[in-house]
């Protein structure tokens, strides 16, 4: 199971500069706080760490460009942007989670489902009628794929994932434990004006109104582009009439909630616990920090960044940087904090002025 990689090959894969013995073999990437043996390749792009390795058991390191490498190191690779190197290095050493090849005998595949060649499906997984699984896709145990759902080629679906009927997922998806793609949207209407409608119109809640909640069924599905990653316990609901959509290359963390009809663009990053309410439209390359909330029907422009825990209640222009609840431009946030701090100063100034007025009045 252990991988053995030559330092020369690692240097090439990382696009870095090899130093020392390129034929030196390493077996494991190691954090400086967890060194176990001389076959460890230690990440030491932080220059402060290097002197500490002098004379240690460490013989192979990844360092920043121009670093002073201790003489006890036998081989090293100099890299530029360290997290880019980390991306390439972890990819080299990554081992896929083992699951026996092929279709496990316990798997249920309903009528009319199409499973492409070279697909693996783990024990107790269920493939609904008319579903399609693309070539080389790996489905771990205990997964549910609903009727007519489509999963693209080269995808990786972990245990407990639920993919609803008619959901379409593009190639090379990675979907983590217990994610839910394609539950019904949360959409109800009251026969007369609801309390929320009244509140929006009048600023207060009227007489008891939500006596009946009529369900709006979800006829749409979810359409997910290529190269999308979806985190554990995340939920993406189906659309009402047209589908909820996630663009190519978008990455979604754990515990994220994406409501019905939402459209998320390409290459977005939605961090843990983000929530996007129904019919919101998120542009391309948008980054939403942890636990950010987006109100329904809101539009967020391309390349915008929302700081963690902010709540986006209105439309956001492209390339905005926003924070707070309700979210406002970062500059305005800082100005508001300053305003608050100015109150103490104002109080003091006012007292001084009062005394000066008293003095003037005494004179009069």
- Annotated catalytic residues are 260
Going 192 to 194 to 195 to 197, the CA torsion angle's sign is negative
116 near its own copies (CB under 8 A): no
> CA 253 to CA 270: how far, in whole Å?
6
| 46 within 8 A of 33, measured Cβ to Cβ | no
> CA 149 to CA 155: how far, in whole Å?
14
Minimum distance between the CB of residue 227 and its own copies, rounded to whole angstroms?
9
> CA 223 to CA 239: how far, in whole Å?
10
248 near its own copies (CB under 8 A): no
Interacting residue with its own copies among 64, 103, 291, 297 (CB under 8 A): 291
Could you tell me how many residues make up the chain?
A: 364
35 near its own copies (CB under 8 A): no
| 327 within 8 A of 310, measured Cβ to Cβ | yes
Interacting residue with its own copies among 4, 48, 68, 83 (CB under 8 A): 83
Helix, strand or coil, per DSSP, at residue 353: helix
Interacting residue with its own copies among 6, 49, 302, 315 (CB under 8 A): 302
126 near its own copies (CB under 8 A): yes
Q: Which is nearer to its own copies, 23 or 355 (CB)?
A: 355
168 near its own copies (CB under 8 A): no
Phi, psi torsion values for 245, nearest 5 degrees: -130, 140
87 near its own copies (CB under 8 A): yes
273 CB contacts (<8 Å, ≥6 apart)?
A: 253, 254, 255, 256, 290, 291
Within residues 89-108, the interface with its own copies by CB under 8 A covers 90-91, 93-94, 97-100, 104, 106, 108
CB atoms within 10 A of CB 2: 7
> CA 284 to CA 306: how far, in whole Å?
13
Interacting residue with its own copies among 267, 279, 282, 300 (CB under 8 A): 267
Within residues 38-57, the interface with its own copies by CB under 8 A covers 43
Phi, psi torsion values for 354, nearest 5 degrees: -60, -45
343 near its own copies (CB under 8 A): yes
Helix, strand or coil, per DSSP, at residue 335: helix
Phi, psi torsion values for 145, nearest 5 degrees: -120, 115
Token pair 């500490």 in the structure block, residue: 52
128 near its own copies (CB under 8 A): yes
Q: Which is nearer to its own copies, 16 or 324 (CB)?
A: 324
Interacting residue with its own copies among 52, 57, 116, 357 (CB under 8 A): 357
201 near its own copies (CB under 8 A): no
Q: Which is nearer to its own copies, 13 or 21 (CB)?
A: 13
Query: Which of 233, 276, 272 is CA-nearest to residue 251?
Result: 272
Estimate to the nearest angstrom the gap between the alpha carbon of 333 and the chain centroid: 25
Interacting residue with its own copies among 229, 297, 299, 315 (CB under 8 A): 229
15 CB contacts (<8 Å, ≥6 apart)?
A: 79, 88
Contact segment (CB under 8 A) with its own copies among 6-14, 18-26, 46-54, 289-297 equals 289-297
Interacting residue with its own copies among 151, 259, 281, 282 (CB under 8 A): 259
Contact segment (CB under 8 A) with its own copies among 4-12, 49-57, 113-121, 125-133 equals 125-133
Structure tokens at 203: 């600023």
Contact segment (CB under 8 A) with its own copies among 4-12, 52-60, 70-78, 173-181 equals 173-181
Contact segment (CB under 8 A) with its own copies among 6-14, 51-59, 67-75, 77-85 equals 77-85
110 near its own copies (CB under 8 A): yes
């Amino acid at each position: 199971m252990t991988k053995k990689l030559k330092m020369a090959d690692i240097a090439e894969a990382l696009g870095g500069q090899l130093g020392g013995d390129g034929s030196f073999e390493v077996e494991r990437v190691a954090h400086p706080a967890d060194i176990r043996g001389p076959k460890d390749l230690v990440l030491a792009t932080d220059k402060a760490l290097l002197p500490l390795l002098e004379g240690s058991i460490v013989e192979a390191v990844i360092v920043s460009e121009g670093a002073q490498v201790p003489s006890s190191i036998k081989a090293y690779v100099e890299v530029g942007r360290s997290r880019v190197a980390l991306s390439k290095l972890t990819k080299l050493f990554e081992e896929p989670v083992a699951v026996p090849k092929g279709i496990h005998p316990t798997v249920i595949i309903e009528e009319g489902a199409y499973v492409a060649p070279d697909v693996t499906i783990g024990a107790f997984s269920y493939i609904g009628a008319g579903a399609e699984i693309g070539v080389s896709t790996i489905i771990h145990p205990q997964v549910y794929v609903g009727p007519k759902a489509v999963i693209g080629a080269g995808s990786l679906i972990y245990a407990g994932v639920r993919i609803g009927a008619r959901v379409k997922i593009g190639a090379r998806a990675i979907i983590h434990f217990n994610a839910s793609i394609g539950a019904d949207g949360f959409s109800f209407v009251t026969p007369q004006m609801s309390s929320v409608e009244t509140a929006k119109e009048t600023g207060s809640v009227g007489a008891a109104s939500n006596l009946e909640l009529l369900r709006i069924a979800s006829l749409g599905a979810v359409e997910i582009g290529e190269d999308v990653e979806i985190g554990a316990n995340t939920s993406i609901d189906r659309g009402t009439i047209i589908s909820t959509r996630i663009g190519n290359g978008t990455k979604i963390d754990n515990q994220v909630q994406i409501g019905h009809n939402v459209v998320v663009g390409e290459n977005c990053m939605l961090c843990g616990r983000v929530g996007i309410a129904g019919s919101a439209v998120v542009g391309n390359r948008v980054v939403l920090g942890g636990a950010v909330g987006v109100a329904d029907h809101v539009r967020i422009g391309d390349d915008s960044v929302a700081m963690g825990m902010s709540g986006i209640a209105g439309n956001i222009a492209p390339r905005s940087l926003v924070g707070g609840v309700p979210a406002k431009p970062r500059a305005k946030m800082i100005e508001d904090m300053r305003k608050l701090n100015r109150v103490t100063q104002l109080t003091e100034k006012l007292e001084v002025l009062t005394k000066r007025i008293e003095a003037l009045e005494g004179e009069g």
